[in-house]
């Protein structure tokens, strides 16, 4: 029996919480393998050409657009929550702006701050369950969910995502692309620094493809994207 839409949403949300999105066997479409006549070969997997074509559809945005007001507010929020030395984060909301030349820009217009209910540790954090569900279902902002942000703290804090970051982003990208029916992908923004000053925090966005997408291994890696300040 094919699962209801609500069951599918719940399964993908829970998979995103675990950091990956694998559709449970009970929710997969019924297979027609049993009815295949004997003697016929099973269809092969996607060819390299097909994977290259999929990767082209996953081309990262050319840049991230963010106003000084939004950027400074995010840096200030991150600094205020960094005093205890624990990671913090939230979600990013905005709009996707394709142009007539086939390029795409993501404009970040709003972000959600950390919550007291978040799980925060040194070197790791996770937003509260209720906020994750609300963000994935479009209930935290009037704008579309385009990604999330979190801090990496320390004098030598890295702007590179950890494997845990990549898994979590990929799982959420699965849900966003499936639920919203838009070109798949997710923006993970790392805010790195000591947190002693908002202006001392560095920002680096990354484009992450969904985990379930059939693409070549080299196209699976997150891609850094530049930020351009707009009025």
In three-state secondary structure terms, 174 is helix
Residue 62 has pLDDT above 60, yes or no: yes
Mean pLDDT rounded to a whole number for the chain? 76
Backbone angles phi, psi at 189, to 5 degrees: -110, 120
Question: Residue 183 — very low, low, confident or very high, per pLDDT cuts 50/70/90?
Answer: low
* Domain coordinates in residue numbering, the chain: 56-230
Element housing 77 (H / E): helix 68-80
pLDDT the model gives residue 34: 45
**Sheet strands side by side (includes 104-111):** 223-224, 202-208, 186-193, 144-153, 89-98, 104-111, 63-67, 227-230
For domain 56-230, give its CATH number from 1.20.140.10, 3.40.140.10, 3.40.50.300, 3.30.450.20.
Answer: 3.40.140.10
The mean pLDDT value for 212-220 works out to 61
Long-range contacts of 127-132 (CB under 8 A, 24+ apart): 127/89, 127/90, 127/91, 129/17, 131/90, 131/91, 132/13, 132/16, 132/17
Percent of the chain, pLDDT > 90?
Answer: 33
* Distance, CA of 17 to CA of 172 (rounded, Å): 8
Bigger pLDDT: 124 vs 80: 80
The mean pLDDT value for 218-229 works out to 84
Residue 177 has pLDDT above 80, yes or no: no
């Amino acid at each position: 029996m094919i699962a209801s839409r609500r069951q599918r949403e719940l399964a993908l949300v829970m998979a995103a919480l675990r950091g990956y999105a694998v559709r449970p066997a009970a929710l997969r479409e019924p297979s027609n393998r049993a009815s295949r006549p004997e003697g016929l070969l099973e269809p092969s997997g996607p060819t390299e050409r097909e994977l290259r074509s999929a990767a082209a559809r996953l081309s990262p945005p050319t840049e991230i657009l963010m106003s000084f007001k939004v950027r400074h507010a995010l840096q200030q929020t991150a600094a205020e929550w960094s005093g205890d030395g624990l990671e913090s984060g939230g979600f990013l909301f905005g709009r996707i702006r394709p142009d007539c030349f086939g390029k795409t820009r993501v404009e970040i217009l709003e972000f959600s701050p950390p919550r007291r209910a978040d799980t925060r540790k040194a070197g790791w954090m996770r937003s509260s369950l209720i906020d994750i569900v609300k963000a994935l279902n479009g209930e935290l902002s009037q704008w579309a969910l385009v990604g999330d942000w979190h801090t990496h703290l320390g004098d030598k804090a890295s702007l590179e995502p950890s494997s845990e970051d990549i898994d979590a982003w990929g799982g959420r990208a699965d849900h966003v692309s499936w639920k919203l029916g838009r070109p798949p992908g997710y923006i993970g923004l790392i805010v790195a620094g000591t947190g002693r000053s908002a202006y001392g925090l560095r920002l680096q966005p990354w484009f992450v493809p969904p985990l379930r997408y059939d693409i070549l291994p080299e196209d699976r890696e997150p891609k850094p994207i530049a930020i351009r300040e707009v009025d």
